[in-house]
Amino acid sequence: MIRFEHVTKRYPDGTTAVDDLSFEVAEGELVTLVGPSGCGKTTTMKMVNRLIEPTEGRILVDGQDISAVDPVRLRRRMGYVIQQVGLFPHKTVLENTATVPHLLGTRRDRARARAAELLDLVGLDPATYGDRYPDQLSGGQRQRVGVARALAADPPVLLMDEPFGAVDPVVRERLQSEFLKLQSKMRKTVLFVTHDIEEAVRLGDRIAVYGHGRIEQLDTPATVLGAPATPYVADFVGADRGLKRLSVTPIEPGDLEQPPVVHLDDPLPRALDSRWAVVLDREDNLHGWISADVAARGEGSVRDHARRMEAWLPVGASLKQAFATMLQHDAGWIAVIDREERGRFLGVLTPARLHEALRRSTAADARAVPRTDVDVETVS
């Protein structure tokens, strides 16, 4: 969808902001551009909508050289979200959101209906917020309006320049989560500029790590964290990149152990091979757990003594979520289910298996092989 071909931006004073840049962004892909201030990432993004003109090379969007397109028409076909939002203070939230459709000639009633639909999509009830003005909103709410406005004309390309950088960490994390949900539905082609490697890792399908005017590495978050291409990238992502990698490494069925299992209507087992057992219903869906001590002392069926399972996650959740769940519930393991099959129990993830999964994932990316093809040494 977006292709850079040997693009350079050089200013009259001799400063080179972007140097011979070539890369592609696929349709529906979210690529985060990350790096320190002054590295050229914002310049790269602004050249896509011709707010900045390249000195050399060319940029194609959907196969068309953008230098041949009127800049105003080009910008109206792209969504653009910036850190300070840029809402019109004299217009209501609904009017702000409907701005681009109005400019494109959409009838007023249709533009407002589209604006209301998008406000609802970003979690702002149009009946509550539509008639408010920007100064009546919180920072996080204004950012949501900015995203809604950028999507109002249904653009194929979305450019986002540190859009969540001006809000507090709690709101920022919430906005990131909401945007990921939105992107999973709409699948826009997104260039997302950030200086925060945590944000880049969480949001990007791929990450472009910038040095000075150049991309030092363009790859998936897991590969950038697990196999930095250069010492510069390794230093930029940090010595704790192994911990960061937890957030982009999913739980897979091969990571799980198979503990003792009993069913709700079974009689209490007088002896278990473990200190506990997982309790399932008739369809092998997760119900809870029971301890060996309770089973040995009690009477009746498993149903009478099963305890609620608090520590569980669906397969595909990140290892970071798994680790956080273990800590939150002070649990030595978590149950893993298949949410696509009504909660069918798959196994349990222990701290040792979590560590193995992380090591196996890192080794798999380094060797460019599936995780299942990697053996890791363990101490038994």
pLDDT value at position 92? 92
Domain holding 281: CATH number?
Answer: 3.10.580.10
Residue 378: pLDDT over 70? no
- Residue 332 DSSP label: S
Q: Are 172 and 283 part of one and the same domain?
A: no
Q: Are 280 and 158 part of one and the same domain?
A: no
Cα–Cα distance measured from residue 329 to residue 362, given in angstroms and rounded to the nearest whole number: 27
Q: How confident is the model at residue 167 (pLDDT cuts 50, 70, 90)?
A: confident
Q: Where is pLDDT greater, at 362 or 158?
A: 158
Nearest to 28 by CA among 190, 138, 231, 175: 190
The pLDDT > 90 percentage for the chain reads 45
The mean pLDDT of 325-353, rounded to a whole number, is 91
pLDDT value at position 380? 44
Q: Are 268 and 186 part of one and the same domain?
A: no
Cα–Cα distance measured from residue 105 to residue 84, given in angstroms and rounded to the nearest whole number: 27
pLDDT value at position 30? 96
Q: How confident is the model at residue 377 (pLDDT cuts 50, 70, 90)?
A: low
Residue 27: pLDDT over 90? yes
Q: Are 189 and 305 part of one and the same domain?
A: no
Cα–Cα distance measured from residue 371 to residue 373, given in angstroms and rounded to the nearest whole number: 5
Q: Are 45 and 184 part of one and the same domain?
A: yes
Is 185 in contact with 174 (CB distance < 8 Å)? no
Residue 276 within any structural domain of the chain = yes
Residue 158: pLDDT over 60? yes
Q: Are 330 and 215 part of one and the same domain?
A: no
Residue 221 within any structural domain of the chain = yes
Q: How many domains does the chain have?
A: 2
The mean pLDDT of 178-183, rounded to a whole number, is 87
Place of tokens 């201030």: 37
Q: Are 262 and 134 part of one and the same domain?
A: no
State whether the Cα torsion 214-220-222-226 is positive or negative.
negative
The mean pLDDT of 349-357, rounded to a whole number, is 93
pLDDT value at position 171? 78
The mean pLDDT of 188-193, rounded to a whole number, is 94
Nearest to 132 by CA among 101, 100, 102, 91: 91
Q: How many CB atoms lie within 10 A of CB 302?
A: 23
Q: How confident is the model at residue 379 (pLDDT cuts 50, 70, 90)?
A: very low
Residue 362 within any structural domain of the chain = no
Cα–Cα distance measured from residue 91 to residue 102, given in angstroms and rounded to the nearest whole number: 13
Structure tokens at 200: 């880049």
Q: Are 317 and 274 part of one and the same domain?
A: yes
Q: Are 231 and 263 part of one and the same domain?
A: no
pLDDT value at position 60? 96
Residue 370: pLDDT over 80? no
> How confident is the model over 58-110, as pLDDT tens digits?
999 999 999 999 999 898 889 888 877 678 889 999 998 988 888 888 888 88
Cα–Cα distance measured from residue 357 to residue 364, given in angstroms and rounded to the nearest whole number: 10
Burial of 118 (0-12, 13-18, 19+ CB in 10 A): buried
> How confident is the model over 271-303, as pLDDT tens digits?
777 788 899 998 899 999 988 888 777 778 888
The pLDDT > 70 percentage for the chain reads 98
Q: Where is pLDDT greater, at 379 or 124?
A: 124
Q: Where is pLDDT greater, at 334 or 226?
A: 334
Cα–Cα distance measured from residue 194 to residue 170, given in angstroms and rounded to the nearest whole number: 17
Mean pLDDT for the chain? 88
Cα–Cα distance measured from residue 95 to residue 92, given in angstroms and rounded to the nearest whole number: 5
HEC states along 18-47?
EEEEEEEECCCCEEEEECCCCCCHHHHHHH
Residue 224 within any structural domain of the chain = yes
- Residue 342 DSSP label: T
Task: Look up the domain containing 33 and give its range.
Answer: 2-240
Q: Which of 42-46, 98-102, 239-243 has the highest mean pLDDT?
A: 42-46
Q: Are 223 and 258 part of one and the same domain?
A: no
Nearest to 248 by CA among 358, 164, 352: 358
Q: Which of 21-30, 44-53, 272-281, 350-359 has the lowest mean pLDDT?
A: 272-281
Residue 50 within any structural domain of the chain = yes
Q: Collapsing DSSP states into helix, strand and coil, what is residue 304?
A: helix
Q: Collapsing DSSP states into helix, strand and coil, what is residue 210?
A: strand
